[in-house]
Chain A
């Protein structure tokens, strides 16, 4: 990273302090903090952004009924570019399965839709298809094409009508998390594609909330900006349910594999220590999520690096050099994906 050689700007220093303000205020070192310092070349003393004057609990409440959510969530907003490219690729003569899978992987909604169809009991293997590669293999390209055509007709391509919800930032975060999870899984010799899926889909609950409960969710977003608390805490207070719970409920309802559901459910609160020394997909997604937040890819000025559960971090066990390489991979990967889609 060239930034490491340049003299760090005060703005970059302040930005790092802002990203990690949650941990810094609590007087905890975030395991990623110093790695990010090295990555960005930021050094020297930094002022910790003060907490809002009075740490207050959320004042407004706008409850969401998760049961209603399950019944209603059918279509999630997708990126039209991804869909159009896929349909074009399917029409070409030398269509290749892995090419389709790669293109499909770049959109959360379309990936989710594909997985949902492949995990349908009709195909006899519900809860066992965890990657879009497998899903396409199972469904066949023709059925994939039909599904995408159907999606083209029924899916909305407009960002969710939820004030305060940045769809572009959300999309970048999802894709980056998937890439980070895949890269970590490669280091740890876990199932890369499954971890990619789990990383891509981990915030599906946020998209569902923004799409189907735009008013309620925008209240939660506003509260989060004012109170400067981690999003999941604010959501629980305002909506009565957090995006991880919503996402896990949807994933379970759509019969996604159990480890994908677990990764979505636990991406903010991984397992306690003493639960086996091997990293699970949930641990990988937990770390990937924090890494992507720390890389500040969403463009959200109030970006907040969630605390990292040390047992999960220890299970994933990345070495500093591996982390620095991971940062660059994710940044490059996201830049490429964004460029390809004009985002």
Chain B
């Protein structure tokens, strides 16, 4: 309290002692209760005390002093009075006073020893503190409530004085931050700048906000809270600074810190889910578009550029369809991780849909197209590496589409759409490249592709698909032996759509599975129908899609279709391409082996176009290789090309596979194939693919190849005469007609080659000097193409050197001169035919030898097996015959053989003679069939000799264990009639 000198009253004297009257007045007027206790009764009380305790003054005086004390404290009050009287000091204390009406109140009492009436007494000063106590209790309750509330709300608070930044932390905050309870006497205050529960790097922020707080205006912000156990929380910090300034010039502030870690995490997760793919965690389309949008703005300002690369992996959809969602997700995740790993800074990865990814490549300046292509190809190489899923290697086969900003579009959505459009164009584009840039015309193609896809989805249900059949002809018989079933689609809206166009779409959209199954079912139904109609059996080949081959239960599916349609497996073939088979050789081998074992033929399509190694090919159960049309050459082709065809055929035969050549379009090709032992042909030359009715008609009328191409038919001898002079040809024909040859003629080398293609020529007689190509050259060519022909030059001019060379290199068999001697010429030509026949026969024999050689290994193995068995048998016989049987049989004593199992295994002749019922012994158990005394000798440890009486005859018995090389062989039991001399046995 500050004194105010202006209001002071200087008239009142300052006495050190009041007068008695004044003193009495002071005591009576004091608001504090005073009483004097002497001799344990109340000797004096002032009116304030009497009021307090509700006693009339007159009655109060003389009462025992404890009458105003609550009963439970009376003893304490008494001892306190006694102690004061005893001269000891007491401290002020709380007590509970009792009013006359029985109610009680809290009071503060001070006792002091005084002299009253000349004798010692106790002065008690009592002040009513019930108001204060109530307030205290309220405060305690409030504090407890705060602590519990803070705990429940995961919040804490502190009180702070600014600007000193001294603060007082609530128990809730301590609990939240894991701070230890302050020990008794520790300072409960600390400095905001040193508050340990705020991470050091955020203390300045928190303190700064408080220092700059506007008084009276609440504020809130978030920061982290360091928990003593090492964890960190995120808290919402709400604070307000009071406007009032206290005496020390400080402002009081209060802060509440609420733990919002869980909410914050949920928010983050929500954001994640909203903006990211849930399988891979990559940004999704929405958030990617935001990023692209930002990039377009940035690029406009800085004249930069960026590129979008849309990547589609249809294989993911196929895997989901064939191996389930789990496998599909696993593949997606692994590819997403691969893509994210391959992309560096300035490259943003996102996932657009189940099978689609996109990468944004940002460039500082507009880049060269080649740079982008190279980067895209790098990414493609990374993505296309096989992914191991369970036990299978999956080849992802990604398709890339590229759109660039700003050239291909302005807005984010437009750019993304164009990148996707470009990608859809990629599959159909030039072969081998699956990276495509956006081109304006891609749009039209994509629109058509989308039409096709939606149409294709209904094609099966609407019965718009059908199969046509291209006949396959066996060269050995010339007859139709099979057909390849080819899919056709006639859409009411789109017209006839080429398989080349819709099959890739079916593969991309996953429809290929259903379509493949439809094809197999339809082909089987057709095959069963033909068989029931009594047509000759033909094998219908259906093409397998990669998705079908990946099904582990393909064989079972094929079986089910066969059962349902009633088709014979011998009338079904499946064709797969080399690249499909090579994608996962062990899997393909297992599935195909199963299919083959039910009798379905396996063909390898497009042979020669892939990169299959021979060792892989060997491990697959392939019956037929279909040689691609690009290997089929005409007679006019270079000899090296012809030898490629020949090598493929020889190799396939070497691997015990048949050869079917497809795309045979000319007679020349056919002749060449027939001459080189091709097994089957298919192609326009014989028939294009035809509807089933037309195919059926071909079967009915027995359409077949002309006989001259049929390899197994013995043909007449064919002679080719080549000369540019018509009259020479005419006279030769006249001369040779009588020998019964089939004569074909040509007036030039080119025409001669044509005749060779059309006819199976045995002997060629050619002029040497012809325009265009000389006879020797022509015959050289003929040798390369048809090495089996016998070639003769008939010439009036002797360019000796070239002819000698030709003879030496084997191109010419004989050289004859014009004019000719009729009989000599005829003899020479007849000799040439003999030569040819002999060569043919030799080749046939050579083939037989080759076949026999192929069997030789098997025969050897068989022989070896037989020899081994013979050896064992011989051994068996030797053991039996030599060592035991005969000797034992001839022994003049009865011998029984008992094996380790206790079975009677042997009875010799003597035993059969002397022992009754010996015939029943063999094969029975000794303990059942022999007298117990004999058995005892075998089993028991006691002696090995004994005597026994069987059927009245007495025998000496000797049993001996047989120890063979491989352990115990049982026992030999000798029974000797008693009358035999002892000496025999010793």
Contact = CB atoms under 8 A, between A and B. Distances in A.
Interface of A: 24, 27-29, 31, 34, 37, 43-46, 74, 113, 116-117, 120-125, 128-129, 134, 137-140, 142-143, 146-147, 149-151, 153-154, 189-191, 273, 310-311, 313-314, 320
B879 A124 contact: yes
Nearest to B593: A314
A128 to B, nearest CB: 7
B597 A27 contact: no
A74 B884 CA distance: 26
B920 A142 contact: no
Contacts of A153: 919-920
A120 B905 contact: yes
Contacts of B375: none
A124 B922 contact: no
B804 interface: no
Contacts of A27: 556, 559-560, 563-564
A121 B969 contact: yes
B569 to A, nearest CB: 6
A150 B559 contact: no
B923 A116 contact: yes
B901 A34 contact: no
B879 A125 contact: yes
Interface in B893-911: 897-901, 903, 905-907, 909
A303 B569 CA distance: 24
Contacts of A117: 903, 905, 922-923
Contact of B873 (A137, A147, A273, A314): A137
Q: Which among A43, A44, A129, A150 has the greatest number of chain B C-beta atoms within 10 A?
A: A150
A186 B470 CA distance: 40
Contact of B899 (A120, A147, A189): A120
Given A138-B880, A150-B922, A122 B889 contact: no
Contact of B907 (A124, A146, A154): A146
B876 A129 contact: yes
A314 B858 CA distance: 18
Interface string B919-938: 11111110000000000000
Given A37-B568, A121-B969, A124-B969, A310 B872 contact: no
Nearest to B967: A121
A146 B919 contact: yes
A273 B970 contact: no
Closest 8 CB pairs of A and B: A122-B905, A122-B899, A27-B560, A120-B899, A120-B905, A314-B597, A29-B559, A310-B597
A20 B903 CA distance: 44
B950 interface: no
B969 A122 contact: yes
Contacts of B909: 142
Contacts of A310: 555, 593-594, 597-598
A134 B880 CA distance: 11
B303 interface: no
Contacts of A150: 919-924
A320 B901 contact: no
A54 B909 CA distance: 64
Interface of B: 531-532, 555-556, 558-560, 562-564, 566, 568-570, 590, 593-594, 596-599, 858, 861-862, 865, 869, 872-873, 875-877, 879-881, 883-885, 889, 897-901, 903, 905-907, 909, 912, 918-925, 962, 964, 966, 968-970
B923 A273 contact: no
Given A28-B560, A28-B563, A117-B923, A313 B597 contact: yes
12 contacts: A28-B560, A29-B562, A29-B599, A37-B568, A43-B532, A117-B905, A121-B899, A122-B900, A122-B962, A122-B970, A146-B912, A146-B922
A34 B563 CA distance: 10
Nearest to A308: B597
A28 B912 contact: no
Contacts of A149: 919-920
Contacts of B906: 122-123, 143
Contact of B880 (A31, A46, A140): A140
A120 B898 CA distance: 9
A31 B598 contact: yes
Contacts of B560: 27-28
Given A122-B899, A122-B906, A147 B556 contact: no
B596 A314 contact: yes
B922 A273 contact: no
Contacts of B858: 189
B890 to A, nearest CB: 12
B658 to A, nearest CB: 14
Contacts of B899: 120-122
Given A29-B598, A151-B923, A34 B905 contact: no
A315 to B, nearest CB: 9
Nearest to A75: B923
A189 B883 CA distance: 33
A233 B557 CA distance: 25
Which of A116, A143, A311 is the most central at the interface, judged by chain B CB atoms within 10 Å of its CB?
A143
B568 A34 contact: yes
A137 B870 CA distance: 12
A258 to B, nearest CB: 14
A153 B569 CA distance: 54
Contacts of A320: 570, 599
B596 A273 contact: no
A269 B274 CA distance: 55
A113 B924 CA distance: 11
A123 B923 CA distance: 13
B332 to A, nearest CB: 32
Given A121-B899, A151-B923, 18 more contacts: A27-B556, A27-B563, A43-B532, A74-B924, A120-B970, A122-B900, A122-B905, A122-B969, A125-B875, A125-B876, A125-B879, A128-B872, A134-B873, A143-B906, A146-B912, A149-B920, A310-B598, A320-B570
A310 B922 CA distance: 44
A279 to B, nearest CB: 13
B737 to A, nearest CB: 45
A121 B901 contact: yes
A37 B528 CA distance: 13
B606 to A, nearest CB: 26
B7 to A, nearest CB: 114
A45 B901 CA distance: 58
Contacts of A124: 879, 883, 964, 966, 969
A154 B570 contact: no
A34 B569 contact: yes
A31 B862 CA distance: 27
Given A29-B563, A122-B969, A191-B869, A34 B922 contact: no
Contacts of B876: 125, 128-129, 134, 137-138
A45 B922 CA distance: 58
Contact of A123 (B570, B898, B905, B920): B905
Contacts of A120: 899, 901, 903, 905, 970
A116 B922 CA distance: 11
A27 B531 CA distance: 21
Nearest to A146: B922
Nearest to A254: B901
A27 B885 CA distance: 59
A265 B557 CA distance: 31
Contacts of B593: 273, 310-311, 314
A200 to B, nearest CB: 18
Given A121-B900, A134-B873, A31 B923 contact: no
Contacts of B884: 123
Contacts of A44: 532, 566
A121 B880 contact: no
B907 A139 contact: no
A273 B884 CA distance: 45
A200 B72 CA distance: 112
A64 B918 CA distance: 35
Contacts of B558: 29
A29 B571 CA distance: 13
A154 B922 CA distance: 11
